[in-house]
Amino acid sequence: MAKNVLLVDDSSTMRKIISRSLRQAGLDFGEIYEAGDGLEALALLESESVDIVLSDINMPNMNGIEFLREKANRPAIKDIPVFMISTETGDDIIGEAKSLGAIGALKKPFTPEKVNEVLGPLI
């Protein structure tokens, strides 16, 4: 069954690149929703059916780490898996993200092949 994906990144260009990479990787997905920061993502998760979130870390208003913290406090959405996609993939920040519930991370820039390899089993 196709999964609905939420892309969370403050760069509309990066959201388009990720979306295109998902298609080029040949992954089976349904709707692709977009949010410009963690606040928008939380609002969207409360109103749409989303199966997996792909989130940046560095964003204005509410960054990826703050988003994970707040999402964990909302019973209706706390179990939706989050995968981090960021230029920051150091052990410290990714370790913190994973401790807050992130299921993995992908470093920018990436190829459609890498997207398929890392996200294929999840989508």
CB 103 within 8 A of CB 94: no
**Number of domains comprising the chain:** 1
Mean pLDDT of 34-52: 96
Instruction: Name the nearest CA neighbour of 64 among 99, 97, 108, 105.
Output: 97
Instruction: Name the nearest CA neighbour of 122 among 52, 72, 55.
Output: 52
What is the per-residue pLDDT across 84-113, written as a single tens digit (0 to 9) for each?
Answer: 988 876 778 888 999 999 998 888 888 878
pLDDT of residue 1: 67
CATH number, residue 32: 3.40.50.2300
Range of the domain at 80: 3-119
> How far apart are the C-alpha atoms of 4 and 87, rounded to whole Å?
24
Query: Which residues are within 8 A (CB) of 23 and not within 5 positions of it... i.e. 6 or more apart?
Result: none
CB 89 within 8 A of CB 56: no
> Residue 121: which pLDDT band, with cuts at 50, 70 and 90?
confident
What's the pTM? 0.91
